[in-house]
């Protein structure tokens, strides 16, 4: 497999050339992003190879500004003729857009400086397909060997990928970032006299040396599938609900969306005008750390070239920052927070306990390990989703429960967060632990 870093200089020159072409065609401002992605995925099922997929994608996007009119076009071809045509297409589109006083590049003084440290997000490894196949087979085989109730498999997949992105604009900013991702996942099916249950587990890392032991992934997938066998019904009522770390990120994801500029200026958020107001339990804070070594959201700058920096969005329950890019900031009469494109390595802090202690404290309630459906209204905060997990009785896991609905309003749910776990899930941009909510409606 190629090393995409070998093409970094070429992509920098490409972005610079496109900016020059936009200027030649009359742009008052322009911004360009180029990317290259290379990946290899091998999938097996029941120890037999199913697919080998190699991918190599390249892309280029240009935004052409005619005053405060904007047009955007993209291409996968990097030759001179294609570049000229793409810039021309963006220019023509800009002619048909309305002037927007909030449109334009980010302020030049907000552009990021040259990086001062290595983020540790690129760790080159070029496995052969046979090597990934053997890894996936070992993972799946360990799952079958874990318990005789594992009767089938939906497969195991091993993946190796790398990417590079370069961004530049007519302020003179030009910067790039490259990263790698390696993953291994397995999905297994367990069966007993009352039916079948399926579950999945995976490991994901920037550095292949940080992947969990291959056999342990299959074993965990098997354990999770077996633990769901023979689910029971529970009584409808209001109970404490513990969101496991691998689903708690969705709860915080709704919070981030509600605090995002696009939702706020459209008045499509239940947290409109919440700056300076308490929206979470006062013991809880939410922050991002773009400079986290090896993080999946680690970067030097956002998608507009604005310097990314550690910041709190919520401090001791109070909103201290929205999630803004330049456009949404201007719409709200505010400055960008350096979050064009989203947040970077979002984390949560506050009163922390072990998962076992939280389960013990609950005495009686629900541990949610899976969520289904899209029943979230971010305008009103109403929340209703399908769920499954484990019923807790006398401070201990009692039995699996499925086909449930959990409901409430996010305004209340966030203030009812009692504590968080010591088990943050670091397999993504949201590094969120288990979250205990003191009261939610649980129904069959």
Span 243-262, pLDDT tens digits: 999 999 999 999 999 999 99
Q: Answer for the pair 441, 406: CB distance below 8 angstroms, yes or no.
A: yes
DSSP structure class, residue 78: -
Residue 53 has what pLDDT? Answer: 98
CB 374 within 8 A of CB 257: no
Residues 42/158, Cβ–Cβ less than 8 Å: yes
pLDDT of residue 374: 87
Rounded to whole angstroms, the Cα distance separating 295 from 177 reads: 13
Residue 134 Rama label (left phi>0; alpha psi -120 to 50; beta): alpha
Pairing label, strands 352-353, 430-431: unpaired
The arithmetic mean of pLDDT across residues 354-359, rounded, is: 97
- Average per-residue pLDDT for the chain: 97
Share of the chain above pLDDT 90, in %: 97
**Domains of the chain with bracketed CATH:** 4-227 (3.30.2290.10), 237-443 (no CATH)
Treating both helix axes as pointing N-terminal to C-terminal, what angle do 129-146 and 214-227 enclose, rounded to 10 degrees? 40
Is 80 exceeded by the pLDDT of residue 114? no
Q: What's the rounded mean pLDDT across residues 329-335?
A: 98
Model confidence pLDDT, tens digit, residues 60-101? 999 999 999 999 999 999 999 999 999 999 999 999 999 999
pLDDT band at 2 (very low <50, low <70, confident <90, very high): confident
Instruction: Please write the tens of the pLDDT for every residue from 259-297.
Output: 999 999 999 999 999 999 999 999 999 999 999 999 999
Instruction: Give yes or no for a contact between 41 and 159, defined as CB atoms under 8 angstroms apart.
Output: yes
Return the residue matching tokens 């498999």. Answer: 153
């Amino acid at each position: 497999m190629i090393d995409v870093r070998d093409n970094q200089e070429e992509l920098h020159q490409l972005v610079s050339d496109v900016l020059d072409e936009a200027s030649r065609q009359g742009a008052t401002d322009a911004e360009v992003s180029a990317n290259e992605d290379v990946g290899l995925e091998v999938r097996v099922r029941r120890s037999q190879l199913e697919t080998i997929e190699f991918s190599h994608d390249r892309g280029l996007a240009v935004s052409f500004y005619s005053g405060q009119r904007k047009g955007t076009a993209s291409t996968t071809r990097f030759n001179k003729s294609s570049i000229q045509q793409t810039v021309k297409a963006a220019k023509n589109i800009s002619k048909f857009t309305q002037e927007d006083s909030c449109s334009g590049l980010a302020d030049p003084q907000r552009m990021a400086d040259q990086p001062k440290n290595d983020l540790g997000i690129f760790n080159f490894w070029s496995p052969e397909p046979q090597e990934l196949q053997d890894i996936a087979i070992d993972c799946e085989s360990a799952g079958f060997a874990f318990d005789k109730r594992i009767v089938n498999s939906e497969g195991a997949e091993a993946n190796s990928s790398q990417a590079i992105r370069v961004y530049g604009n007519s302020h003179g900013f030009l910067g790039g970032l490259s990263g790698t991702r390696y993953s291994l996942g397995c999905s297994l099916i367990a069966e007993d006299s009352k039916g079948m249950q399926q579950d999945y587990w995976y490991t994901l890392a920037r550095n292949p040396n940080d992947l969990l032991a291959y056999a342990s992934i299959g074993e965990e997938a098997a354990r999770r599938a077996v633990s769901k066998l023979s689910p029971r019904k529970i009584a409808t009522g209001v109970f404490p609900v513990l969101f496991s770390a691998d689903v708690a990120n969705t709860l915080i994801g709704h919070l981030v969306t509600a605090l995002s500029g696009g939702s706020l200026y459209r008045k499509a958020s239940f947290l409109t005008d919440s700056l300076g107001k308490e929206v979470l339990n006062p013991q809880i804070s939410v922050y991002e750390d773009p400079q986290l070594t090896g993080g999946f959201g680690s970067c030097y700058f956002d998608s507009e070239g604005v310097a990314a920096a550690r910041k709190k969005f919520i401090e001791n329950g109070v909103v201290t920052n929205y999630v803004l890019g330049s456009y949404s900031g201007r719409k709200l009469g505010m400055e960008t927070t350096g979050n064009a494109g989203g947040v970077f390595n979002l984390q949560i802090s506050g009163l922390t306990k072990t998962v076992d202690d939280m389960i013990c404290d609950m005495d009686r309630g629900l541990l949610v390990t899976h969520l289904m459906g899209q029943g979230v209204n971010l305008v009103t905060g109403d929340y209703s989703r399908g769920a499954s997990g484990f019923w807790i009785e006398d401070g201990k896991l009692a039995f699996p429960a499925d086909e449930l609905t959990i409901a409430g309003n996010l305004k209340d749910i966030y203030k009812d967060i009692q504590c968080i776990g010591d088990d943050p899930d670091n397999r993504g941009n949201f590094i969120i632990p288990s979250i205990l909510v003191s009261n939610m409606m649980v129904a069959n």
